[in-house]
Amino acid sequence: MKIGVLALQGDFDAHRRRLEELGAEAVLVRNSDDLENLDGLIIPGGESTAFLKLLSEDTLETLNEFVHRKPTFGTCAGAIMLAREVENPRQPGLNAIDISIRRNAYGRQNDSTILETASALGSEPLEMVFIRAPRIERVGKGVEVLASRDRDPVLVRQGQVMAATFHPELSHDTRVHAEFLKLVKNGSK
Ligand code: GLN
């Protein structure tokens, strides 16, 4: 399995290492040519505004086409990129998953924190590393919630697209990436 990791900015290398740990081939993606022949893509955390600035028009267009066609997983800023609606401030989303998301929504005091939650990924609690995290404020009908932080969905899936508002690549637990690889292998449910 060949999985791309958007490598313009942010913590793409931790995703690359996690994918390799799970036996996938990881490809760092910097332009539209790099998106060819991939089975799936991860858009990492970082700054979504920086992604939008750094993406050339051509790469953004190819990326937009890719995320509507192939399995894609966005973490934190990556989840913001994939959302249908983005607030605080309003910015364009790729509309690959039917969620509304608010950037930097957990306030200063709480803007970086590590929590645990129950999840759909098994009985062990899931560690969640939040870094200036966005909050998912609305999920559409077709969106499955796999984990929540209190009442906020933090790990969601719709068809071939997954989004997390936390950073699973920074925890030892490999289950979130394994779930994405399952999706790449088997297609959507
Ligand atoms: N605050 C960032 C944004 O709004 C996301 C933070 C992250 O990816 N850790 O894009």
Q: What is the pLDDT of residues 8-42, one digit of tens each?
A: 999 899 999 999 999 999 999 999 999 999 999 99
**β strands within the chain, DSSP E:** 2-6, 25-29, 40-43, 72-75, 83-87, 97-102, 112-119, 122-131, 135-139, 144-149, 152-158, 161-164
Q: What is the pTM of this model?
A: 0.96
Locus of tokens 């906020």: 152
Residue nearest atom 8 of ligand 1, based on CA coordinates: 45
How many H-runs (helices) and E-runs (strands) does the chain carry?
Answer: 5, 12
Q: Where are the domains of the chain?
A: 2-186
b/e per residue, 150-171, with b = 16+ CB within 10 A?
Answer: eebbbbbbbbbbbbbbbbbbbb
Of the candidates 15, 20, 61, 167, the residue annotated as catalytic is 167
- Fold type of domain 2-186: Rossmann fold (3.40.50)
Bridge partners of 74, per DSSP, are 43, 163
Q: What is the mean pLDDT of residues 176-186?
A: 97
Instruction: Please report which confidence band the pLDDT of residue 84 belongs to, taking 50, 70 and 90 as the band edges.
Output: very high
* The residue type at 156: V
Note if 167 is an active site residue.
yes
* Residues near ligand 1 (Cβ within 6 A): 45-48, 76-77, 80, 103-104, 131-132, 134
Percent of the chain at pLDDT above 70? 98
Note if 76 is an active site residue.
yes
